[in-house]
Amino acid sequence: MNWYNDFGFEQNPLEPNPFFSDSFLVKYKHETRWIERSLKAENIVLLEGPESSGKTIIAKELTERMNCLYLDAGRISKNNNIEKLIRKRFSRPMLIVDNAQHLTFDNLERIKYFYDKKNVRGVLFTAEFAEDVPFSESLKHRIGRRIVKLRNATAKDAIIITKKRLGKSNPFSDRIILRIFGFSNNDLKLHLNNCEKVLKHLIDNELESISENELNLILSGHVYRQSFSADNCHKCEKELALINDYWRCPVCDTFCLHCGCLVLEEDEECPDCGENL
């Protein structure tokens, strides 16, 4: 039995890859409609954006909406002739090439040839950085100014996406979601993985919610160790954690993760070591 079955899901709701989950667009709907119109007009478009910005979820949305041929260039061998992949699947498809930075120059030129010969009707390339894709000058000319740029995921995005993914089973407050997103360096894929890690912890320890201190311990890599003076917290009986030379309860104590000194909820930095809290 998987962890997500305990939360009432048949499959992992936090799966980062949109093609292996029931994920859907929560932003960039205007940009997606613009790309759709451009592809229907048989143009070539470049979708550019950092990791976890939403390129693949847009690609999934368009693939399902327009019955496009989707190819992940990261899974195509550099020795593979992309012509065979296109010809054997569809007749005159609209083509979406995700992670186009992994394509060879020759395969990009084959796509351009197919496009010029009307063997593909429209093409969408996605990449983190346009300069990483070995486009020829002639292919750049065909793209022209049809470049859509996405931004990094925001804290607001993380809250919306986490709540939509988990639905009524969501045990996290907005504040906890923001803390997880911060621990994930504002990377949405890593955020989803860390949410999963915390949910597994809740199940393993039969908890309904999690405190910020306990969250910090889980995601910062600190390990729980038994105290020689007291095995568990005298208040909640939770196992104590060793932070430097201090034994702290992750539920009852509020402390600095850097030095272990006790702090107040309203403190912005540790009064002992000066570390930001």
Higher-confidence position of 236 and 75: 75
| pLDDT at 123 (0 to 100) | 97
**What is the reported pLDDT for 224?**
44
**Of 115, 149, 183, which residue is a domain's last?**
149
Other beta carbons within 10 angstroms of residue 209's beta carbon come to 10
Q: What is the mean pLDDT of residues 207-224?
A: 77
Rounded to whole angstroms, the Cα distance separating 177 from 173 reads: 6
User: Is 1 within the bounds of a domain?
Assistant: no
99 and 170: one domain?
Answer: no
Per-residue pLDDT at 242: 67
Contact by Cβ (8 Å): 201, 241: no
92 and 115 share a domain?
A: yes
Report if residue 7 sits inside a domain: no
Which residue(s) pair with 44 in the sheet?
A: 123
Q: How many domains does the chain have?
A: 3
- The region of weakest confidence among 147-156, 169-178, 212-221, 232-241 is 232-241
In a domain, 204, yes or no: yes
pLDDT one-digit tens code per residue, 227-272 = 444 467 666 776 677 666 667 777 777 777 777 777 777 777 777 7
Assess whether 53 and 136 both reside in one domain.
yes
Which residues are within 8 A (CB) of 29 and not within 5 positions of it... i.e. 6 or more apart?
none
Domain span at residue 257?
Answer: 227-277
As a whole number, the mean pLDDT across the chain is 86
Q: Does any domain span residue 20?
A: no
- Same domain for 103 and 85: yes
**Is residue 37 domain-shared with residue 127, that is, in the same domain?**
yes
102 & 116 share domain: yes
Residue 238: both structure tokens together? 């939770």
**204 and 267 in a common domain:** no
Q: Beta-strand (E) ranges in the chain? A: 44-48, 69-72, 94-98, 122-127, 147-149, 241-243, 246-248
* Over residues 2-8, mean pLDDT: 89
What percentage of the chain carries pLDDT values higher than 90? Answer: 51
Q: Is residue 45 part of a domain?
A: yes
pLDDT band at 225 (very low <50, low <70, confident <90, very high): very low
**What is the pLDDT at residue 90?**
66
At 80, which CATH number? 3.40.50.300
Residues 53-63, mean pLDDT to the nearest whole number: 94
Domain finish residue from 149, 172, 199: 149
Query: Among 134, 149, 164, where does a domain finish?
Result: 149
- pTM of the full structure: 0.74
* pLDDT, tens only, 12-22: 999 988 888 77
* Torsion sign (Cα): 36, 88, 22, 158: negative
Q: What is the pLDDT of residue 247?
A: 72
pLDDT digit string, tens, across residues 111-130: 999 999 999 999 999 999 99
Residue 2 lies in a domain: no
Looking at the structure, do residues 161 and 273 belong to the same domain, yes or no? Answer: no
Asked if the structure places residue 5 within a domain, the reply is no
| Confidence band, pLDDT 50/70/90 cuts, at residue 77 | confident
